[in-house]
Amino acid sequence: MVANRLRRRLDAEQAEIHVVDRDDRHVYQPGLLFVPFGLADVDEIVRPRRRQLHRGITFHENEVDSVDLDRDEVRLDDGAVLSYDALIVATGARLQPEETEGLTDAGWNRRAFTFYTPEGADLLREVLRDFDGGRLVVNLIDMPIKCPVAPLEFAFLADWYLRERGVRGRTELVYATPLDAAFTKPVASEHLAALLVEKDIELVTEFNAGEVDGANGVVASYDGRELAFDLLVTVPLHGGAAFLDRSPGLGDALGFVPTDRRTLQTSARPNVFALGDATDLPTSKAGSVTHFEAEVLVANVLSHLAGAELTPGYDGHANCFIETGFHKALLIDFNYDTEPLPGHFPTVFGLPLLRESRVNHLGKLAFQWLYWHALLPGRALPGVGPEMPRHGKRMPATHA
């Protein structure tokens, strides 16, 4: 999206644009949620990266080895060196299941699975198809994770799917989270906790999983509590991309990139910008965030190249459909300062916020089309800009 938007604004004389990625498989990651329930196929949610890039953008299918900030150079695995006037880091978050003791031992991909990869989502589909009841534990190991609502959505969809299959009556569903509530934000948490109760899903809070015994089906927390499972669906620990460890001055201790929360310029150098899951920003690691950030970042990269002032234009805006099963979904919309509130999005006549509805579910399904045909090519979505809309929201008095 960033490369395509920059290409539209800069002609070939003004800039060369290079995109580096280790593979040519762009995954529409929100689609991974649907794969285990037979509602999407991996083939449908993966497309070649090259095809998403406008003419005049050079794609390098290669691993980034490191960035040399002093020399303004990106080193690739094959020894090639790309020098830059401006660098945009968009290397996402890396799953680290091996960081949790026992998780990748005997039970991994037999009794303990993740739907956060295409391979894991595909395996879970087979397992859920044959699941004949027992204890299903959904657990996220620790924050931050991509799409913090995705494990909750998984639990809601599992409830629906197992009811459809007639095995819900003999299934205990447990949602175990390191948070002290169902979700990070208080108002949304209340709504989501009520849905867990309604769907008979047990909520276990402040559960910091430290060890998984896949062979015996037990996940243990650091404070000594144990949860037995027949099937564990886990969201592994997340860290930043590995090349950041080899790039002095670019990443923090967790491998995320310290980034200005308004301008998206990194603290590493004025000519280095970052967006998406790669940053250390206090908002969700979500595609919607990446999309809103991209609009602000592109303007600021252009300002930087022109020697003009940057605009502090990103307000932390995030927006997320939450599948709740039975063809319904909630929608939440928030930013750094405003938590998800009831009302409508983007105006009073829009989609209902924090309320289950069929139209939100249809919105979530339709979004994939917009992703491939509007967002990635760099087109604007009418009525949806980077700034969080306030018109339709029931704002507390202090925000009026």
Please tell me the distance from the alpha carbon of residue 377 to that of residue 367, in angstroms, as a whole number: 14
Closest to ligand FAD by CB, 278 or 302: 278
Closest to ligand FAD by CB, 217 or 346: 346
CB of 164 to ligand FAD, least distance (A): 21
CB of 216 to ligand FAD, least distance (A): 27
Q: Which residue has the tokens 């252009």?
A: 302
Q: Which residue has the tokens 């990139």?
A: 257
CA 191 to chain centre: 21
Find out whether the peptide bond into 144 is cis, omega within 30 degrees of 0. yes
Of the candidates 135, 137, 96, 103, the residue with the CA atom closest to the CA atom of residue 117: 96
Closest to ligand FAD by CB, 138 or 220: 138
Give the binding site for ligand FAD (CB under 6 A).
20-23, 29-30, 32-33, 63-64, 90-92, 115-116, 146-147, 150, 241, 243, 276-278, 285-288, 290, 320-321
Closest to ligand FAD by CB, 220 or 388: 388
CB of 62 to ligand FAD, least distance (A): 7
Q: Give the burial string for 38-63 (b: 16+ CB within 10 Å, else e).
A: eebebeebebeeeebbeeebebbebb
CB of 274 to ligand FAD, least distance (A): 9
CB of 275 to ligand FAD, least distance (A): 6
Closest to ligand FAD by CB, 225 or 261: 261
Q: What is the dihedral of CA 73, 75, 79, 83, to 10 degrees?
A: -30
Closest to ligand FAD by CB, 162 or 331: 331
Pairing of strands 112-113, 226-228: unpaired
Q: Which residue is nearest to ligand FAD (CB)?
A: 276
Closest to ligand FAD by CB, 221 or 288: 288
CB of 393 to ligand FAD, least distance (A): 19
DSSP letter for each residue of 169-223: GGEEEEEE-SSSSSSSSHHHHHHHHHHHHHTTEEEE-S--EEEEETTTTEEEETT
CB of 193 to ligand FAD, least distance (A): 20
Residue 368, by phi and psi: left (phi above 0), alpha (psi -120 to 50) or beta? alpha
